[in-house]
């Protein structure tokens, strides 16, 4: 048995990728999740009648994992080591070292679901309506309805094919429905908002956390800014981060605020003030627009 698993803060791309890749590969593969689903992912699985993948109680040396939508150690389920990993399918930068050859599929596209859907098409394996709809949701979620600079033509072409199969005629309206789920944050605690889509990076031996909330309207969270920054500071000190950045992304205005706590260097890198008031037009992607800058520290 090979477990197909995404990263520690499961988003729609990660969860659907695990389910779809396991489905593509057959009965020796089983999808898992490495954490709790966010509201959007839970909505997508329910809408397309897909069982929520199980969580693993603990990792043993004998377990085999195929990683989807991530590869870096800091984003893996705790306990998974290089020896456990039999393959990787991803659309992020590689930060991986191992001692024997494994399957590695990487494409610089907007979502892992794009790569997997393309594999279904290339292999001529039939996609049912629900799986096509879920894969489409993964693409729309990760590319912010094609607005993210990570989105390439392949994502759009594959999404159109999937929409045809799923019988979804208005892709944009379906995308907005997804983001309205993501925007339901009023019942979440400050820490849940920070952790909702949080990734940790190890950059020159400095631990940096970058979270992102993508909202149909950023003003939904503005009243909570002071408390959330306070909570970020608490986490920074508790877990020894060099910096924690929360991207507050407004998908209609197509840009983000960066709420930052940590070393002064980070404020310099992003030319931000201590109150984190700046709005960055066009800033949507952690991977393409935040990470390259962090490598300058």
What residues between 249 and 278 interact with Mn ion by CB under 5 A? none
Nearer to Mn ion, 158 or 236 (CB): 158
> Which residue's Cβ lies closest to Mn ion?
13
For residue 16, which of 140, 122, 144 has the smallest C-alpha distance?
Answer: 140
d(CA 135, CA 228): 32
Q: Where are the beta strands (DSSP E) in the chain?
A: 2-5, 29-32, 64-68, 85-90, 103-106, 198-203, 206-215, 243-250, 255-262, 279-281
Q: Which stretch binds Mn ion (CB under 5 A): 43-51, 74-82, 111-119, 154-162?
A: 111-119
CA distance 295 to 60: 34
Distance from C-alpha of 63 to C-alpha of 133, rounded to nearest angstrom: 31
Stretch that binds Mn ion, among 105-113, 186-194, 216-224, 254-262 (CB under 5 A): 105-113
Residue in 3, 68, 69, 140 binding Mn ion, rule: CB under 5 A: 69
Count of other CB atoms within 10 angstroms of residue 33:
22
Span near Mn ion by CB under 5 A; candidates 40-48, 69-77, 157-165, 182-190: 69-77
User: Measured from the CB of residue 85, what is the shortest distance to Mn ion in angstroms?
Assistant: 18
**Ranges within 125-184 binding Mn ion (CB under 5 A):** 142
* Residue 249 bridge partners (DSSP): 214, 256
How far apart are alpha carbons 186 and 163 in whole angstroms? 31
Nearer to Mn ion, 13 or 155 (CB): 13
Q: Does 72 contact Mn ion by CB under 5 A? A: no
- The nearest distance, CB 115 to Mn ion, in angstroms, is 10
Instruction: Give me the least distance between CB of 264 and Mn ion, in Å please.
Output: 31
Minimum distance of Mn ion from residue 295's CB (angstroms): 20
Alpha-carbon distances of 152 from 29, 147, 182, 272, rounded to whole Å: 29, 10, 23, 29
**How many residues sit close enough to Mn ion to count as binding (CB under 5 A)?**
5
Asked whether the beta carbons of 80 and 74 are under 8 A apart, the reply is no
Binder of Mn ion out of 3, 4, 13, 89 (CB under 5 A)? 13
Other C-beta atoms closer than 10 Å to the C-beta of 282 total 12
Q: Kindly tell me which of 72 and 190 has the beta carbon lying closer to Mn ion.
A: 72
Element at 42 (helix H, strand E): helix 39-47
5 vs 269 by CB, closer to Mn ion: 5
Nearer to Mn ion, 73 or 233 (CB): 73
Is 111 or 256 the residue whose CB approaches Mn ion more closely? 111
Residues that bind Mn ion (CB under 5 A): 13, 69, 111-112, 142
């Amino acid at each position: 048995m090979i477990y197909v698993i995404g990263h520690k803060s499961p988003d729609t791309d990660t969860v659907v990728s695990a389910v779809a890749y396991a489905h593509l590969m057959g009965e020796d593969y089983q999808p898992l999740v490495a954490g709790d689903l966010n509201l959007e992912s839970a909505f997508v699985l329910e809408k397309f009648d897909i069982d929520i993948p199980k969580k693993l109680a603990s990792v043993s040396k004998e377990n085999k994992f195929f990683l989807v939508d991530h590869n870096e150690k800091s984003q893996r389920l705790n306990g998974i080591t290089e020896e456990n990993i039999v393959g990787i399918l991803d659309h992020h930068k590689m930060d991986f070292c191992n001692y024997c050859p494994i399957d590695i599929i990487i494409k610089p596209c907007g979502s892992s679901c794009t790569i997997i859907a393309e594999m279904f098409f290339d292999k001529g394996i039939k996609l049912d309506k629900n799986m096509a709809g879920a894969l489409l949701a993964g693409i729309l979620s990760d590319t912010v309805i094609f607005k993210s600079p990570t989105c390439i033509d392949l994502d759009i072409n594959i999404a159109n094919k999937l929409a045809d199969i799923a019988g979804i005629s208005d892709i944009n309206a379906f995308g907005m429905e997804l983001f309205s789920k993501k925007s339901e944050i009023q019942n979440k605690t400050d820490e849940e908002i920070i952790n909702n889509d949080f990734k940790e990076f190890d950059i020159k031996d400095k631990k940096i956390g970058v979270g992102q909330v993508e909202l149909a309207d950023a003003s939904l969270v503005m009243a909570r800014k002071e408390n959330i920054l306070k909570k970020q500071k608490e986490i920074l000190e508790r877990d020894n981060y060099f910096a924690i950045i929360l991207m507050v992304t407004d998908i209609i205005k197509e840009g983000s605020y960066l709420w930052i706590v940590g070393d002064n260097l980070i404020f310099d890198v992003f030319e931000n003030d201590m109150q984190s008031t700046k709005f960055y037009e066009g800033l949507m992607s952690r991977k393409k627009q935040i990470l390259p800058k962090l490598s300058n520290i």
